[in-house]
Structure 1
């Protein structure tokens, strides 16, 4: 009888510890840092810091996103880039997303591209108008300059279709948004989907920021993420920095969740990239 009680206590304790770990691992924000060296980075942009936020999915990190914003503010970013899925079609609303945007705009200029959930919600125009009203740079198949002193770099963004990409869509749009970018000017691309890295590298972007994969949702040591949308099981691009030809791509594990409400060995994250 005593042994049985001990077993029950041990099992109960293990379940409690595992549950606490899941809650912590799903809600505790981590920071991943990267350095990018490139001869086309102007001298005035050396030390330029970019914070990436991706796949918030309407999640709340403290009242008015205070926990999230405290971490971002501490990084002293020069710009903040948002790579899609600020909202979630299953948990529709803009309050948490706009709380983040309001405070982010107080820290640094914000550049944004849409994700599939903005499109799936059927209310992307609402999100887009709110962002524009707040002064966010909404990069819908567009390119703008970022100026610093007498130098500049380019930042582009492609709008997400929300569905499987039409034949040649990505390649055609990339060539359209990059037509004014010359080989000697450092270029950044924001695109929700990392699986198109081959297209990004062929067009010649120097640095790409993506999300969408949620880190594979469940991760294991030496294996990585288990599943990612549009990549399937054992996906290749889920977290970290990848290189193809002369293009570097930073993939964020994102902050929120959609279908699966928990993460395993896959803490939500923001990324911090410094130009060197």
Structure 2
């Protein structure tokens, strides 16, 4: 009997070690394994030429790498055959600081796949030198939308794509309301989309601008996702935030929020893998 009793503690330690190893591997997988998600918003006023337009939406890399030099990320994006790539801010992380050449490498990798459009997040402004960063991204072929807008053409039809700098930007920057007014002044009542980093400003501000579709990041999917919740924590650590992942609607405007890719500083993800989101636009019957 004494012989068996000596084995039991070793068996328990072995079981505990296996459990901890599985837990560590699962946690690593949750934070480093890319997940492809698909969304199919439909709009009655979408021009027919944009029916089926396929967009990859990325955000919040925070300096992360998926594969050597982000080759896994680029291959995953390329495999989705996007017509456009929208990048919604927080390319780098203020807690780690920018790595030399990182932004240019990401920009070059994405623009080699499809036309890429970018807006700043709060971390770019916290790091500083944003005008210089925008120039470096533009030199790699990225279209930087700084409180401005462009037109996209497909199959003979046109939509407007606007983008606003993060509120962390310069105090005298053009407000979103002015950008929206300029869109209407230039194009009447177009179908238009707005790239805006902060998901938590949608209901109170961005949904009131009149955009048909707002696309945002920033929320990191609520960091920890539990059943029947929209994420457990906001990026400022308030409980049960709204508008953290997927499609929403408020005030006549639709919102898509990507869960993003990386983590800021010492944070982590749980049941919330890094996301490569594919948003396919559809024209709905009136």
Report the TM-score, using the length of structure 1 for normalisation.
0.92
Structural RMSD (CA)? 2.3
Q: Which residue of 2 aligns with 1:112?
A: 118
Q: Which residue of 2 aligns with 1:31?
A: 36
1:214 aligns with 2:220: yes
CA distance in 1, matches of 2:153, 2:52: 14
Q: CA deviation at 1:96?
A: 3.1
Q: Which residue of 1 aligns with 2:160?
A: 154
Q: Do the aligned residues in 1 keep the contact of 2:50 with 2:155 (CA within 8 Å)?
A: no
Superimposed CA distance per residue, residues 59-93 of structure 1 (whole angstroms, 9 cap, x where no aligned partner): 11112211111111111111100000011112222
What is the correspondence of 1:38-49 to structure 2 with a 5 Å cutoff? 38-49=43-54
Q: Do the aligned residues in 2 keep the contact of 1:79 with 1:109 (CA within 8 Å)?
A: yes
Q: Do the aligned residues in 1 keep the contact of 2:221 with 2:260 (CA within 8 Å)?
A: yes
Aligned residue pairs total 275
Which residue among 114, 122, 125 is the counterpart of 2:128? Answer: 122
Which residue among 209, 229, 232 is the counterpart of 1:223? Answer: 229
Q: Which 4+ stretches in 1 moved above 4 angstroms?
A: 181-184
Q: Secondary structure at the match of 1:204?
A: coil
CA distance in 2, matches of 1:9, 1:130: 52
Structure showing greater radius of gyration is 2
Q: CA deviation at 1:17?
A: 0.4
Q: 1:270 to 1:173 in 2, by over 3 A?
A: farther
Query: After alignment, is 260-269 or 11-20 more displaced?
Result: 260-269
Q: 1:214 to 1:181 in 2, by over 3 A?
A: farther
Q: Which residue of 2 aligns with 1:95?
A: 101
Q: Secondary structure at the match of 2:86?
A: strand
CA distance in 2, matches of 1:180, 1:231: 39
Q: Which residue of 2 aligns with 1:3?
A: 8
CA distance in 1, matches of 2:193, 2:100: 27
CA distance in 2, matches of 1:19, 1:181: 54
CA distance in 1, matches of 2:246, 2:120: 21
Gaps of 5+ in 1: none
